[in-house]
Amino acid sequence: MTFVESLASQWRSQLQNDYPNHSPNTHESIVQWLLGPNSEALDALTPSEQSAFKQGLNFRYRVLQQRYLDISPEQAYRSLMKRLGNLVILRQKIRAWVATSRDRQRNVVDVLQEVIQEMLNSDRYLQQQLQWIAECTTDSRLRNSLLLTSLEEYCLRPIRNQPLLVYRFVNYLRRSQRGGLTQVPTGEWIRQVSEEIVSDDTQERVSLLDEQALAQYEDTQYIEEQQVQRLTVQAEFEAYLREKVDPVAGDWLQLYLKGESQETIAKVLNLPIKQVYRLREKVSYHAVRNFALKHSPELVDSWLGTSLSEHHLGLTPSQWQEYWDSLSPLQRQVIEKLQAGQTIEIISKHLKLKTTQVLSEWTKLYLHAQAIRNRSS
């Protein structure tokens, strides 16, 4: 099997397992969309590039699964707006601009919708995605789910440690030239629209207002930036697992981060599949209970597909509903505040509890979700 054929086969099996009631055509459309319009070129990737590509597919699929697939178009769109509107730096920029604009009745969502619509109308990458999604399926509901997933993934791509959407908002201000902008202090306005990226390789300045140049910069830098961000924490976490848990746990993490399924990991490690699933839960447990509390919890959990904000603790939509229904009012408050990005310390003050009490509650919540996942496995 070629790399592409192997990938397609793995994703067909994954979709059949996750969505047995969906038609084969739907499964095939999602697989086609995931692999992209230039799938024939994937066989030429190096092993490290293949690993990064697999991680990208896993992330995109989880976004689709957790927020957009099998969700009504209206609810899915609201989910996207909430997700993007929760970006603190973007929300601050929009509010600052609205405050100095003549139209002060507008809110963050109003402006965000305009920026997104402009991106759909003019952004080269999104235009290509629209065309590709149309080739993948004729199902309007599925098209909507795939488009919203593509939008979220694209808008959140990190450029200089800021989401790409922040720069697109600057572009929007530059082109809109609304009357209210005359009230913006001149120096601040010039600073906002004159930001530049300097390429580390060539020292060439790339204007953030040049969409084509920025898109080229994204294409060449995206994988490298993601890898650099992850490799340090990955190495630390792997060393922790080998020392504190079990050397084979470090082997499991290496294989998992390469995108291998639990079945493949069991064969490579020569372990029973049940033991591999237990190993996964043990790694996940230590990631949250010990290592992640001192390092990068969201990053570690995103590897395992069990983060709260991105993956609903690794639960499927039906499992999440069951989980949510079983929580007490206090536990729901903790979950909601954690999803909103609040720290344990802030939550403790708000709920008038000790930090250890909130941490204990969060541990119970995580282990409860883990039990539901184990039952499924």
In the predicted model, residues of the chain with pLDDT beneath 70 are: 98-106, 160-161, 175-233, 288-289, 292-311, 374, 376-377
Q: What string of H, E and C letters represents the secondary structure of 123-162? A: CHHHHHHHHHHHHHCCCHHHHHHHHHHHHHHHHCCEECCE
d(CA 260, CA 288): 22
Three-state DSSP state, 206: strand
pLDDT in the model for residue 180: 40
Place of tokens 């909507």: 144
pLDDT in the model for residue 220: 46
Residues paired with 205 in a beta bridge: 198
pLDDT in the model for residue 267: 92
- Among left, alpha and beta (phi > 0; psi -120 to 50; other), residue 334 is alpha
pLDDT in the model for residue 137: 92
pLDDT in the model for residue 293: 53
Global pTM value: 0.48
pLDDT in the model for residue 131: 92
Three-state DSSP state, 197: strand
Provide CB contacts within 8 A for 90, sequence distance 6+.
Answer: 84, 112, 163, 165, 166, 169
pLDDT in the model for residue 25: 93
pLDDT in the model for residue 186: 38
Give helix 355-376 / helix 317-325 axis angle, nearest 10°.
130
Q: Is residue 42 within 8 Å of 35, Cβ to Cβ?
A: yes
pLDDT in the model for residue 377: 52
pLDDT in the model for residue 222: 44
Strands (E), 199-255: 205-207
The enclosing H or E element of 361 equals helix 355-376
pLDDT in the model for residue 302: 52
Q: Is residue 314 within 8 Å of 304, Cβ to Cβ?
A: yes
d(CA 158, CA 253): 24
